[in-house]
Amino acid sequence: MTDEAPQYVAARIQRALAEDTRTHELGIRVDVRGDQLYLRGQVTGEDRRRMIAGVAHEAAPDLTVHNEVSVVEVRDPGEEETL
Alpha carbon distance 58, 56 (integer Å): 5
Please give the span between the terminal C-alpha atoms of the chain, in angstroms, as a whole number.
56
One of 3.30.1340.30, 1.25.40.10, 2.40.37.10, 3.40.50.300 is the CATH number of 6-71, namely 3.30.1340.30
Q: Give 3's pLDDT tier (boundaries 50, 70, 90).
A: confident
Q: Residue 1 pLDDT > 60, yes or no?
A: no
pLDDT band at residue 62 using 50, 70 and 90 as cut-offs? very high
Give tens-digit pLDDT for 9-38: 999 999 999 999 999 999 999 999 999 999
Segments making up each domain of the chain, as ranges:
6-71
Look at residue 73 in the predicted model and tell me its pLDDT: 84
Tell me the sheet residues that pair with 33.
36
Q: Residue 55 belongs to what H/E stretch?
A: helix 46-59
**What are the pLDDT digits (tens) for 67-83?**
999 999 877 777 676 77
